Structure 1
């Protein structure tokens, strides 16, 4: 309608349109103003209440609704479901590489460090590896050079890259998958038992 009012139409065309429109009665206009005023007042009261009395419950439920990859990797049930989801999508090498890097970081002995680093490189990083992960050529070369004298941080850059890949791509798909939704339903039903 606003386009019609500002366009170049003649008065008689507007006059023809007007009978088809239902005109509000005066009482409807007054009641609508009162309703809007009450709605605005209610919103103000709710906002003031939320600011003065922050609810821990709402934060907890909000946090549960937005499960992050970090919290997913810490919980054993979620991790198992995530691993099976990645297997169904044929990308389980990402989570296996990430878990192997976490185990590698906890290695204490320098001899074990060298052996585990070599195993991780051959299994996940080497270009002809059976479960090759998707990392840049530069990262591969850095890791290959660091294998001469491996440290606990030699896979950090590749691990971070894979983590971000899972966080952006796999995790959101998992959170909308049937595997996660059924796990969520089971955890709710177990809570009530």
Structure 2
């Protein structure tokens, strides 16, 4: 039985190879039409996964899109780190609180669920951040969780987000959005 030549190549490796080929095509096309910019045509190869990927590449944009947010949440659940996105969303909800009467109980709820030692969904933040939050619970403001939220956001951006970009869930979503865009 003959061996398969590409048996060890993964989908994302093929995608990366295709991106490099597309970049070369674009550079060659730009070089050909550099003297006369009006003659430059937009080729379908320029509208590739790479372009679509750049649109959805930032974590900030993902958190604003319900489909991608749900996929990212499911991905974090599979990695047993969904407390990060849940904390981030709880902070966003807390920050949008309009009634000053709701601030204390919402702040306490977030603290007990995510911040206090041995909390059921304890997040990974420094002890000094936890202490600042605990002190601010006496009279909570809309920004009392900002430092912790920024820390968790950076953790997700540096750690979970790059792995999510290579996950099947993300790749299938970007593929679906591309096919809908072409239709």
Separation of aligned partners in 1, 2:36 and 2:127: 55
**Structure 2 residue corresponding to 1:65, chosen from 53, 57, 60:** 53
Q: Does 1:99 align with 2:89?
A: yes
TM-score (ref. length: structure 2): 0.73
Separation of aligned partners in 2, 1:176 and 1:92: 18
Report which of the two has the higher share of helix.
1
Q: Does the 8 Å CA contact 2:125/2:151 hold for their aligned counterparts?
A: yes
- Look up the match of 2:145: 155
Structure 2, unaligned stretches of length 5 or more? 1-27
- Look up the match of 1:142: 132
- Shift in Å, 1:189: 3.1
- Look up the match of 2:166: 176
Q: Deviations over 1:106-158 (max 9, x none)?
A: 11112210000000000000011000000000000000000000000000000
- Look up the match of 1:88: 78
Q: Does 1:120 align with 2:110?
A: yes
Structure 1, unaligned stretches of length 5 or more? 1-40
Higher-Rg structure is 1
Aligned pairs for 1:25-64 within 5 A? 44-46=31-33, 64=52
- Shift in Å, 1:187: 2.1
TM-score (ref. length: structure 1): 0.69
Secondary structure of residue in 2 paired with 1:132: coil
RMSD of Structure 2 on Structure 1 (CA): 2.9
- Shift in Å, 1:190: 3.2
